[in-house]
Amino acid sequence: MDNFIDYYKILGVSRNATKLEIKKSYRKLVKIHHPDIGGTNEKFIPIQNAYDLLYSDSRRDNYNKIYDFVYNQNERTNNSNEDQSHNRQSNENSYTSKKSKEDSRNYNNNKSQDRSNKSENEELFKRKSSYGSSNRWRIIAVFSSVLCVILIIILSTQLSFLNDQKSLVHDEALSTENSLVNEDINIKEEIYTHLEESVILEEAFAEQQEPLILLEEEEARLYEEIINSSINELDAAIEKAKEAIMLTDERESMVKIETQSIDAAKLEFDKIEPLIQDIENVAARRKAEDMYNVMQERYDAYYMLNEVYHESILQDRKLYELLLKEDLTEQELTNQVDNVNSQYDTVTDFNRLFNEKTDNYNYLKSQFYELTSLPRSEY
């Protein structure tokens, strides 16, 4: 009986606990004793074994038969001990009363035979005492034999059960993290769906990048041609300035499209925040938190980039409009060119920050996918 493992006691639940109560108690103990959060295998493995056995209907039914047999046997043993103790006490009280009456009768009938009767009574007491002692030892011997048989039955059942569990204990000790991944796979798949949907929603943003670069290069070419125009080419320079202004309008339209794409992707991505805390695997949960925070920094970097880029478009347009002025001074032109160059330096800085956050996010995302065995994708 000492070798019997009470899995209900390990999980802190009753014999009639529901599967939901068993699962809640298991999760509570995992958060305290799991090796990833400061616990030890010595504490965690029995908890894992108890949960695996009691959560399985078939295995729990087999275990309950052993459980009920052991605890019913304990009750019968305790009751038997109490009955035997009570019987011994009654026998001793009866014997004492009988002896007292016999001694009194012998004393009153014949005082002269007192010494002889006393000797006979002592001999009778010795015979009765010896007989009672022999009876008790027989009871103890029978009880010990029955107890040994019960122990043999229990140990045989336990050995059979432990042999089934031996390989499971070894595997579970080495792969507790994988078992937790399987436990909350639905949560991770839902996170994966939102992440991949946000990538799809950013495709419109990605599609605007190459056309924007081509428009910027075309504007730069027109600007060089305007600046290098001679007096005789004034009319052509004016037309080129008007064309450059139209290109800035096209760029603004493209930026609006990419901003709408980012806004939609962010709304989809933000849906993973409440799901992250439900991830059981500690390493995967922390990686998901890091990934989420870096992505928010990426969105912040984009909105700052969008703001300064929009300002740069306004400065470019102002430059082209100045080129249309008949009374344009060299100082006005120089000041505006300086404004355009300064704005482009700011755009370059925020663009670099945005790209760094994108690379950092893709790295964290790939690590999260490795921990959760999910397929990879990148922005």
Q: Which fold has domain 184-372?
A: Four Helix Bundle (Hemerythrin (Met), subunit A) (1.20.120)
Whether the pLDDT of residue 324 is over 50: the answer is: yes
Whether the pLDDT of residue 28 is over 80: the answer is: yes
Whether the pLDDT of residue 132 is over 60: the answer is: no
Cα–Cα distance for residue pair 147/160, rounded to 1 Å: 20
Whether the pLDDT of residue 154 is over 80: the answer is: no
Contacting residues for 26 by C-beta, under 8 A, at least 6 apart? 11, 47, 50, 51, 55
Q: If pLDDT is split at 50, 70 and 90, which confidence band does 174 have?
A: very low
The domain segmentation of the chain, as residue ranges, is 7-101+143-174, 184-372
| Average pLDDT, integer, range 214-231 | 86
Whether the pLDDT of residue 173 is over 80: the answer is: no
pLDDT at 68: 87
Q: What is the dihedral of CA 143, 148, 149, 153, to 10 degrees?
A: 140
| Average pLDDT, integer, range 33-50 | 90
pLDDT at 100: 47
User: Is 7 in contact with 55 (CB distance < 8 Å)?
Assistant: no
pLDDT at 142: 59
Question: Residue 376 gets which letter from DSSP?
Answer: -
| pLDDT tens track for 248-290 | 999 999 999 999 999 999 999 999 999 998 998 899 999 999 9
pLDDT at 351: 94
| Run of H or E including 10 | helix 7-11
| Average pLDDT, integer, range 53-82 | 81
DSSP 114-145: HHHHHHHHHHHHHHHHHHHHHHHHHHHHHHHH
Using DSSP's 3-state secondary structure scheme, residue 196 falls into: helix
Average pLDDT value over all residues in the chain: 79
The CATH code for residues 7-101+143-174 is: 1.10.287.110
DSSP 236-279: HHHHHHHHHHHHHHHHHHHHHHHHHHHHHHHHHHGGGHHHHTT-
pLDDT: which is higher, 227 or 48: 48
pLDDT at 155: 64
| Run of H or E including 98 | helix 57-109
